[in-house]
Amino acid sequence: MKVVVSLAELWEVRRFLNSPVGLVPTMGYLHEGHLSLVRAARQECACVVVSIFVNPTQFSPTEDLSTYPRDLERDLDLLEKEGVDLVWTPTKEIMYPADFQSWVLVEEVTKPLEGAMRPGHFKGVTTVVAKLLNAVQPQKAFFGQKDAQQSVVIRQMVKDLNYPVEVKICPTVREPDNLAMSSRNAYLQPAERQAATVLSRALFAAREAYQNGERNANRLRKTMQAVFNQEPLARVQYISCADPNTLQELDLIEDHALLSVAVFIGKTRLIDNILLP
């Protein structure tokens, strides 16, 4: 496994990677969710590239950039064991030099949900993902369903900007008690960690209602809200039942729906989602 930092080193090694090349973009502090993406890439691609970069431009000034958890040594050990070919760990000076001034913006699908709660977040995400795709030129790129809106945004960007890359979305990996894996779970105090299961419990309650025939989106939102109401440590930011492609809120579920929630547990902001059916 090669580990490179500069663009020049990356391009020197990239030339010798067989196609198809699979890219797994990460912000490090890897968990089983990331590793499931790496395994999917390993399965489908001749060579696997993982990027590790805590992207400052997708954090707002009030967010947790400085405290975002990092452990590069452990990350590299894990990736070595998964048979990764190349790890790219650029610095922020490499990604955003002093005269940096170019951005990729996706308009409609970045507006609701995370885009509404985290202004500027997706501008940072689409810009860094465009940079990663340009630099690595993979044939496939792997993202987690956990960041549901991010997958929609990336797919839209890849289609709009003619990237010759297949975007693969892999299922959310959950802890035994169904908490979706996230690097931010490391912030949770023990009582909060217990309370955090409320996200999946709310989503699964709505899914059960859906499976019992409920198609009214508002009643599904209320089912979720009722579960959150039982959890004193939870402060809901949004509860959504939306079209999985346009992310527009639904009145009635006709075919598919994306149920998604954003919730503060103490000071930690968590998100989760499920696709229906």
Out of 78, 104, 202, 203, the residue judged to bind a copy of itself by CB under 8 A: 104
Name the residue nearer to a copy of itself (CB basis): 8 or 277.
8
* Catalytic position from the list 31, 34, 121, 256: 34
Question: Which one of the spans 134-142, 174-182, 235-243, 266-274 is the region binding a copy of itself (CB under 8 A)?
Answer: 134-142
Contacts of 58 (CB under 8 A, 6+ apart): 120, 121, 122, 123, 124, 125, 128
Out of 20, 69, 70, 137, the residue judged to bind a copy of itself by CB under 8 A: 137
Question: Which one of the spans 44-52, 67-75, 123-131, 227-235 is the region binding a copy of itself (CB under 8 A)?
Answer: 123-131
Tell me the two tokens of residue 44.
């489908």
- Contacts by 71-75, CB closer than 8 A, 24 or more apart: 71/28, 71/29, 72/28, 74/30, 75/26, 75/28, 75/29, 75/30
Phi-psi category of residue 224: left, alpha or beta, with phi > 0 → left and psi -120 to 50 → alpha: alpha
| Rounded Cα–Cα distance for residues 172 and 120 (Å) | 25
Out of 57, 149, 151, 156, the residue judged to bind a copy of itself by CB under 8 A: 156
Question: Which one of the spans 104-112, 195-203, 216-224, 267-275 is the region binding a copy of itself (CB under 8 A)?
Answer: 104-112
| Rounded Cα–Cα distance for residues 34 and 42 (Å) | 12
- Catalytic, 31? Answer no
Q: Applying CB under 8 A, what is the total number of residues that bind a copy of itself?
A: 28
252 binds a copy of itself (CB under 8 A): no
30 binds a copy of itself (CB under 8 A): no
| Rounded Cα–Cα distance for residues 35 and 261 (Å) | 24
In whole angstroms, the minimum distance from the beta carbon of 262 to a copy of itself comes to: 23
Q: Is 73 helix (H, G, I), strand (E, B) or coil?
A: helix
Out of 126, 182, 183, 268, the residue judged to bind a copy of itself by CB under 8 A: 126
- Residues in contact with a copy of itself by the rule CB under 8 A: 7, 11, 99-109, 126-127, 130-132, 134-135, 137, 156-157, 160-164
